[in-house]
A and B are shown apart, each in its own frame.
Chain A
Amino acid sequence: MSDIKKIKDDFLLKLKGNLDLNQVNQIKTDLFGKAGLISSQFKMLGKVAEKERKKFASDLNQVKDELQNLISEKIDDIETKEINQKLEKEKVDITLPERPFTQGKIHPVSQVIDEISSIFSEIGFSVEEGPDIENEYNNFTALNTPDNHPARDMHDTFYLDDKKELLLRTHTSPVQIRTMLNDKPPFKIIAPGRTYRSDSDQTHAPMFHQVEGLHIDKDINMGHLKGCLNYFIKEFFEVDKIKMRFRPSHFPFTEPSAEVDIGYEIKDGKIVIGEGDKWLEVLGCGMVHPNVLRNVKVNPDEFQGYAFGIGIDRLAMLKYGINDLRAFFDCDYRWLNHFGFDPIDVPTNYRGLSR
């Protein structure tokens, strides 16, 4: 009995000292090892008189628990201290720069093409493509622009042969021809792509981008055209209201034809779309000319519809405040970085076109 008490008192005292991990472990062995003091006491349990045994066991267990807890606590304390010391040594200046990373960028024209595709996708247009090299027939003749027609002067054309039969397409409209020749109506497509005109100054580049639209069905009229373009412009510029003006114009491949202006004003040196009393021309459109439909073997008495052509670069300039068209194709690292979009920033309908 007194043995247990003595062990307890002795060791409580020992454990109060300033010990390192080894010393605590030694104490642990002294007490609970095979020949440890507490272990020895347990071995004596059988020898204790029957009636005292219960109390003896209870006391012994109590002391055992107390000492064990104390030892664990002591070990915890020491380990925590050691870890803290180690962490203190490992401290870095966290304001040093992170490991270098590079961020890629998507060109604003590509981004805008994706935006346009996303908008038209919502109202059922699919995307078609055509080659950059076209023949004279698809680019002009089939589009009701015969040779020796003054409308051809509106297009300064790059030619690839002396007979002027092969050329770089001057607009995306030949995709209309290809699409309609290859398939049967109804048609509901957009065709974004590169276009070329031998014209180069501050506001013209020899290469630029257009998106063609074509919707042919049994009863598509100018009201549908107006509705479609109004929807597109509103969605594209992400505004609720847009001032829009359709005015008569002329394209050989549409009749009636229209040009579309949108309202804008200059606020603090920046263009604000949708308000103001100034007009900005953004696209050309019209009802597909019956001659064009005949050329692609579509019966104009049965089918009719509209087509439009929009300058993509110009839309990108307006939406993202880019002043110089030529810079689009200049490949200046600073410009690409400034106006480019993060590749993860894919325009979608549900998340919004732009961030």
Chain B
Amino acid sequence: MKITTNWLKEHLDTKLNENEIIDKLTDIGLEVESVDKQSGELDAFIVAKILKAEKHPDADRLKVCDVDIGSDNPVKVVCGAPNAKEGLLTIYAPPGAVIPKNQMKLVVSKIRGVTSSGMLCSESELNLSEESDGIIELSTKKYEKKIGKNYFPKNDLNVIDISITPNRADCLGVSGIARDLAAAGAGKLIKKKEQKLKKKGKQTVNVKILNEKGQACTSFGSCLIKGVKNTESPDWLKEKIISLGQKPISAIVDITNYVMIDLNRPLHAYDVDKIDKQIIVRNSKKGEKFEALDNKEYELENDMCVISDSSGVLGLGGIIGGTRTGTEFDTKNVLIESAYFNPRSIRKSSKILNIDTDAKFRFERGIDPLSIEQGLEKAARLIKEICGGEISEFDIQKTEKTKNSNIKFNPVLFEKITGFNIAKKEMIQILENLGFEVKKTKNFFDLIIPPWRPDISQEVDVVEELVRIKGYDQIKMIEPEKNRARDTLNSKQKLFHFLQRSIASKGYLEAITWSFTDSKINQLFLEKNKEIKIVNPISSDLNVLRSSIFSNLIIHLDKNLGRGFMDLSIFEIGPTFQGSQPSEQQTVISGLRSGKLTRQSWIEKERLVDVFDVKRDVIQSLVEAGFNKDKFYIDDETPNYYHPGKSGRVFLNKGKEKVIAFFGDIHPKILKKLDIKSEALVGFEIFLDNIKHPKKSLKDQKTQYKYSDFQKSERDFAFVLDKNFKVQELIDIISNVDKELIKSVKVFDVYEGTNIPENKKSIALNVTIQSLEKTLNEEDLNKINHLIISAVETKTDAKIRS
């Protein structure tokens, strides 16, 4: 909502200056978003006189004019207007000026070889009217002495743009803002005493509101003005309209707009002679069509509130009028409509048809139902003043009586909510200033809510009114208590934070990417999951919810490759989506590494990142988070976006509960499809929701501290076994031979090739053996040796390598 202080002062008698008004507005909840010079761009336009107009040497339609702009020397301007002639007073725009109509900035330019500095303007270019045939002709009498002066009245008035919250329909009019300021002590509301409006005869157009189900119009006021002469608006009105960034059209239209902004009372003007017999307010039928004032044709659904006549739809009530009965300069008889429409209905219809107008914006927030006559009166008076004519009696059709809303307000509630107190007397004063009728009973205030405040429906709303006007700065600050009754984080949240930092500490940079992604890329990581489409995506490449973090991470990894990075490690922790219901999401931590571990180092051998790097990152992080590695179980069933031979999945226990993590090389076909040029690309996904939280906290899980000072022995073994045999199983078999004595089993060599049969491999292991009770002698050790070999050989096809 834009206002100027001048306009405001038509309603408010105030001693405050503009800055004080601005502060006050913000203090009472009418937030000032911006303050702009009213028409800074219009200051450039000056009154000028054409001294000479000659035909352009190279163009028949153009003229070269010498223009007096009040300076010592006339300027040369090339002009295409047919009416440019010697002696004409018009408006000149110098280079640098911005033309209001198209926002073009003028520069000195050569037009067909003749330098033109500036431009002579038409009314349309200055948004003064639609007139675009020729340049403005100013009256010599009025402007002869103003050559070189600004055409537009130069004022330092600012346009104050106020952000009106959706509850404050009443402040979508200048008078409403003035009322609020007055209530806050910023001045006195001005009540103008007008002469009684002279009305003659009945309003002769028959108006009927049909009694239908869901009828959105509850009251329709109208007034007929006969014998008008529609014209351009007078300057004062044009200025008002322009100052708020709108475009003057004609006196009648400008007046309806002016009343809407001034009183927050939308009106509509019909050319009576174009109305077929009568006005019927009714529900639309599906398929009905009409052409609206925005020059678009709308096809209606059932049950939209329309204003119609005997031939069909004229307009959508409270939203937009139609072209068929619109007023023009030749309109002789006008019908002014001032009605009340139900906000919900307005909103529903405008949403369906996607129409946004100033009237709709106001009606959907709730208009004062009692302002119908006030609006008719103000508009009729102005029309008569400017366009002449004869005003009829007002015709008010109503389907229901407007009832006052009441609230019983307990003043004690004020302190209960705000923490401070004000005297009842002051409360009553504030409420009355805001338009409430207050009746004090023993413990309560009986309030009648002003009809322009549909937002006020319960006691707490009254508290807000009081504290808003009294000032939020009056609220006393109460220091918070430093006292914690519950843990800040639950165990799942702790794990989230722990793993997040644990993965980062392995050299990964944390990224945050959108929860949505490109369907085409998401397909690659979708597996058997459903695709979750967004009905109204922001762009076609962000049209589905991601089913894997990889789909975004891989795009961004590729972008970074494009930036010249090769050795990248990035990760993200966040949601992935498996369905479109609120619970169908998982928290996943997912990372990608590309390129080499080290590159061009004088000391380290270069090597590509590989599956065992990400396996380390996953396992180490899980161990750091407090899980027992000895119980982990790993196999090679992984989703199809991993390299089938170089990927694995992790379980916390061999019981195969839920998969905790996948890791591995990304499938080469994905790199190819996305054209990712990296020597190596490995990744992992850890599924936080699948991790069962131990009932015991980590501190309670710590077992008794046991250690051995007896000598430990190491024995090496090499087994030849099937190529596909899983080393993890071999380690398990050996570890299980004697869990007390066997402290660790390390794999120190994996060999295939010469001396080893085809389809076989040799695994060399180092086993550490130590007792808690004694130093083991040769005999003890031999016994374990044999046990290990026999266990391996009986449980598998392996043979000890001699």
Q: Using a CB–CB distance below 8 Å, which chain A residues touch chain B?
A: 96-97, 99-107, 109-110, 114, 117, 120-127, 129, 131-135, 138, 148-151, 153-154, 158-162, 164, 166, 168, 188, 194, 196, 198-200, 206-207, 219, 221-224, 226-228, 230-231, 245-250, 252, 255-259, 287, 289-290, 304, 328-334, 336-337, 340, 343-344, 346
By beta carbon, the residue of chain A nearest B535 is A159
Given the interface pairs A200-B538, A206-B542, the reply to whether A249 lies near B602 with Cβ below 8 Å is: no
By beta carbon, the residue of chain A nearest B555 is A331
By beta carbon, the residue of chain B nearest A232 is B480
By beta carbon, the residue of chain B nearest A244 is B477
B518-538 near A? 1/0 per residue, CB < 8 Å: 000000000000001111111
Residues of B close to A246: CB separation below 8 A:
472-473, 475
Residues of A close to B487: CB separation below 8 A:
126
Considering the complex of A and B, which 5 residue pairs feature the smallest CB-CB distances, nearest first?
A248-B29, A223-B419, A102-B507, A250-B165, A331-B556
Given the interface pairs A150-B364, A333-B565, the reply to whether A247 lies near B166 with Cβ below 8 Å is: no
Residues of A close to B488: CB separation below 8 A:
117, 120-121, 125-127
Report the bound CA distance from A168 to B314 in whole Å.
Answer: 39
**Do A336 and B604 touch (CB < 8 A)?**
no
Residues of A close to B483: CB separation below 8 A:
123-124
Residues of B close to A337: CB separation below 8 A:
509
**Do B515 and A105 touch (CB < 8 A)?**
no
**Do A158 and B582 touch (CB < 8 A)?**
no
**Do A328 and B512 touch (CB < 8 A)?**
yes
**Do B472 and A258 touch (CB < 8 A)?**
yes
| Number of B residues, CB within 8 Å of A | 98
**Do B598 and A100 touch (CB < 8 A)?**
yes
Report the bound CA distance from A289 to B463 in whole Å.
Answer: 12
Report the bound CA distance from A104 to B500 in whole Å.
Answer: 11
Residues of A close to B460: CB separation below 8 A:
255-256, 287, 289-290
Report the bound CA distance from A340 to B483 in whole Å.
Answer: 32
Report the bound CA distance from A248 to B162 in whole Å.
Answer: 13
Residues of B close to A129: CB separation below 8 A:
493
By beta carbon, the residue of chain A nearest B587 is A129
Report the bound CA distance from A196 to B746 in whole Å.
Answer: 50
B569 at interface by CB-CB < 8 Å:
yes
Residues of B close to A124: CB separation below 8 A:
480-486
Residues of A close to B479: CB separation below 8 A:
227, 231
Q: Which one of A135, A162, A227, A256 lies within 8 Å of B478 (CB-CB)?
A: A227
Smallest CB–CB gap between B796 and chain A, Å?
A: 40
Q: Which one of A104, A121, A168, A223 lies within 8 Å of B507 (CB-CB)?
A: A104
Residues of B close to A97: CB separation below 8 A:
601-603
B301 at interface by CB-CB < 8 Å:
no
B132 at interface by CB-CB < 8 Å:
no
**Do A331 and B585 touch (CB < 8 A)?**
no
Given the interface pairs A221-B416, A221-B419, A343-B504, the reply to whether A227 lies near B580 with Cβ below 8 Å is: no
By beta carbon, the residue of chain A nearest B416 is A221
**Do B501 and A106 touch (CB < 8 A)?**
yes
Report the bound CA distance from A106 to B504 in whole Å.
Answer: 7
**Do A223 and B514 touch (CB < 8 A)?**
no
Smallest CB–CB gap between A116 and chain B, Å?
A: 11
- Which of chain B's residues 532-587 have a Cβ closer than 8 Å to chain A? 532-538, 542, 545, 553, 556, 559-560, 563, 565, 568-570, 573-575, 577, 580-585
Residues of B close to A121: CB separation below 8 A:
484, 488
Report the bound CA distance from A225 to B516 in whole Å.
Answer: 35
Can you report 24 residue pairs joining A to B where beta carbons are below 8 Å apart? A97-B602, A99-B604, A102-B507, A105-B504, A106-B510, A107-B511, A110-B512, A126-B488, A127-B488, A135-B582, A153-B166, A158-B516, A159-B535, A199-B538, A206-B514, A221-B417, A222-B418, A230-B477, A247-B29, A247-B472, A248-B464, A249-B31, A250-B168, A329-B514
**Do A222 and B563 touch (CB < 8 A)?**
no
**Do A117 and B489 touch (CB < 8 A)?**
yes
**Do A103 and B507 touch (CB < 8 A)?**
yes
Report the bound CA distance from A123 to B484 in whole Å.
Answer: 6
By beta carbon, the residue of chain B nearest A157 is B536
Residues of B close to A230: CB separation below 8 A:
477
Count A/B pairs, Cβ under 8 Å.
Answer: 261
Not counting A168-B515, A256-B417, a sample of 9 additional A-B residue pairs whose C-beta atoms are within 8 angstroms of each other reads A104-B510, A123-B482, A148-B343, A150-B364, A161-B535, A164-B535, A226-B478, A246-B475, A346-B501
Report the bound CA distance from A328 to B507 in whole Å.
Answer: 19
Given the interface pairs A124-B485, A133-B585, A227-B479, the reply to whether A110 lies near B560 with Cβ below 8 Å is: no
**Do A344 and B480 touch (CB < 8 A)?**
no
By beta carbon, the residue of chain B nearest A219 is B416
Residues of A close to B211: CB separation below 8 A:
none
Point out which of A124, A162, A168, A256 has the most chain B C-beta atoms below 10 A from its C-beta.
Answer: A256
Residues of A close to B168: CB separation below 8 A:
250
**Do A222 and B489 touch (CB < 8 A)?**
no
By beta carbon, the residue of chain A nearest B165 is A250
**Do B31 and A150 touch (CB < 8 A)?**
no
Smallest CB–CB gap between B74 and chain A, Å?
A: 45
Report the bound CA distance from A332 to B563 in whole Å.
Answer: 9
Smallest CB–CB gap between B215 and chain A, Å?
A: 16
Report the bound CA distance from A188 to B488 in whole Å.
Answer: 10
Point out which of B26, B477, B479, B563 has the most chain A C-beta atoms below 10 A from its C-beta.
Answer: B477
By beta carbon, the residue of chain B nearest A300 is B460
Report the bound CA distance from A249 to B556 in whole Å.
Answer: 40
**Do B538 and A198 touch (CB < 8 A)?**
yes
B420 at interface by CB-CB < 8 Å:
yes
Point out which of A149, A158, A287, A333 has the most chain B C-beta atoms below 10 A from its C-beta.
Answer: A333
By beta carbon, the residue of chain B nearest A313 is B512
B513 at interface by CB-CB < 8 Å:
yes
B365 at interface by CB-CB < 8 Å:
yes
Report the bound CA distance from A16 to B662 in whole Å.
Answer: 74
By beta carbon, the residue of chain B nearest A159 is B535
